[in-house]
Structure 1
Amino acid sequence: MAGIDLSLKEMMAIDGALGAAVVDYSSGMALGTLGGSKELDLAVASAGNTEVVRGKMRTIEQLNLKEGIDDILITLTRQYHIIMPLTGRKGGGLFLYLALDRERANLALARHRLKAVEEAIAV
């Protein structure tokens, strides 16, 4: 089991990582962040992506789907943004957020490594 700080370091070790956060989507607050820049304010990204997660969960409920979200991918011109809700008992309304540089990242490998972080995190 890994704590938030170690999980953030593992996320930032993924090729192309620009910024990482563990976010509580009930409040929109980041429990921890690492990386980021003037162009990538992780506090703003955490709050904004909370709305994405809430909206998708609401839609799943309205459609009466018996599904969970594995991850949400947002593709920008120069970046990938991956949102991965934590599952199981440890999830408790949290999600992982990872921003990647499209030129340096391998999306399939990043998603695979992020899933490993999600499975190991203990909050």
Structure 2
Amino acid sequence: MANLDLTLKDMMAVDGAVGAAVVDYDSGMALGHLGGSKALDLQVAAAGNTEVVRAKIRTMEQLRIKEDIEDILISLSTQYHVIRPVSGRKGKGLFLYLALDRGRANLALARHRLRDIEENIEV
């Protein structure tokens, strides 16, 4: 089981990572974050992406879709932003947020790595 610091370090080890956060989507607060920049404020990203997660969960409930969200992808011209809700008991109510440099990242490998990280998170 990985603790919060190790989880964040593992996320930042993904090729092309520019910022990572573990976020509580009930409160919108980042429990921890690494990376970021003036252009990528991870506290603001955590709060904003909480609304994305809440909206998707609400929509799925309205549509009566009984599946788990694997991840939510936001693609920008120079970045990928990957949101992965934590599905295990130990991380329920959390999501992983990873911002990637689109020119350096392999999206498929990043999603695969996030899945592995999510399976081992312990907060």
Which amino acid in structure 2 is aligned with residue 54 of structure 1? R
The separation in 1 between residues aligned to 2:37 and 2:85, in whole angstroms, is 24
Which amino acid in structure 1 is aligned with residue 84 of structure 2? M
Which amino acid in structure 2 is aligned with residue 65 of structure 1? I
- 3-state SS, counterpart of residue 110 of structure 1: helix
1:92: how far off? 2.1
Q: Determine if the alignment matches structure 1 residue 8 to structure 2 residue 8.
A: yes
Which amino acid in structure 2 is aligned with residue 42 of structure 1? L
* Greater than 3 Å deviation, 4+ residue runs: none
Residue correspondence of structure 1 range 1-123 to structure 2 within 5 A: 1-123=1-123
- 3-state SS, counterpart of residue 31 of structure 1: strand
Q: TM-score, normalization: structure 2?
A: 0.99
CA shift digits 1:28-61 (9 cap, x unpaired):
0000000000000000000000000000000000
1:91: how far off? 2.4
Which amino acid in structure 2 is aligned with residue 103 of structure 1? G
The separation in 1 between residues aligned to 2:42 and 2:111, in whole angstroms, is 19
Gaps of 5+ in 1: none
The separation in 2 between residues aligned to 1:53 and 1:2, in whole angstroms, is 23
Q: % of aligned pairs identical?
A: 74
The separation in 1 between residues aligned to 2:109 and 2:22, in whole angstroms, is 20
- Decide whether the 8 Å contact of 2:88 with 2:119 is kept in 1: no
The separation in 2 between residues aligned to 1:110 and 1:88, in whole angstroms, is 20
1:90: how far off? 1.3
Q: TM-score, normalization: structure 1?
A: 0.99
Gaps of 5+ in 2: none
The separation in 1 between residues aligned to 2:13 and 2:65, in whole angstroms, is 35
Which amino acid in structure 1 is aligned with residue 97 of structure 2? Y
The separation in 1 between residues aligned to 2:69 and 2:93, in whole angstroms, is 12
1:98: how far off? 0.1
